[in-house]
Amino acid sequence: MAAGTPSPEGHYVKRVVLPSGKTIEVVYFESARAEAQPGEQVQDRDLHVCLQCASELVYPTAWDEAGPEHWRVTLRCPNCEWVAVGIFSQPLVDKFDECLDEGTEQVMTDLRELERSNMSDEIDRFVAALDAEALLPEDF
């Protein structure tokens, strides 16, 4: 049976690849399956861009499945405090997830650079204090 295809028995199977590379099959039963609520429509847009202020820092605060190939995602913009909930396709959510991973990597790179700079400044101050004989054994 293909991933996400309902069976005659009223369930569907979704294959999930874990970060370790292992693949698991998750069985969903129709009675427990989340679906789009009346009035909700599947949206197609860049999820990391705020619809209010155009900031590219939008992030998810919650998400859950809304069917075999869709996700209900709550989005928040840290610049203007815009919050919205929408139903999005799996490919769009995958693209958003990649964008979040890239953002996380950039933040971690900036953090490492900042730590390195701060440590260098601390070393320079310590060396200057040693040169000025401003440190005494009691300081340790």
Alpha carbon 36 to its chain's center: 22
The structure tokens listed for 85 are 């909930």
Q: Are 11 and 30 in contact (CB under 8 A)?
A: yes
Domain ranges of the chain: 1-33, 35-139
Mean pLDDT of 121-135: 91
Q: What is the pLDDT of residue 1?
A: 32
Q: What is the pLDDT of residue 2?
A: 37
| 37/57: higher pLDDT | 57
- pLDDT tens-digit readout, 93-117: 999 999 999 999 999 999 999 999 9
Q: What is the pLDDT of residue 3?
A: 43
Where are the extended beta strands (E) located within 19-110?
Answer: 23-29, 42-43, 59-65, 70-76, 83-89
Asked whether the predicted pLDDT for residue 4 surpasses 60, the reply is no
Band the pLDDT of 37: cuts 50, 70, 90: low
Q: Pairing mode, if any, of strands 42-43 and 83-89?
A: parallel
Band the pLDDT of 67: cuts 50, 70, 90: confident
Q: Are 31 and 6 in contact (CB under 8 A)?
A: no
Residue 4: DSSP 8-state: T
Q: What is the pLDDT of residue 137?
A: 80
pLDDT cut 90: percent of the chain above it = 53
Q: What is the pLDDT of residue 29?
A: 61
Band the pLDDT of 16: cuts 50, 70, 90: confident
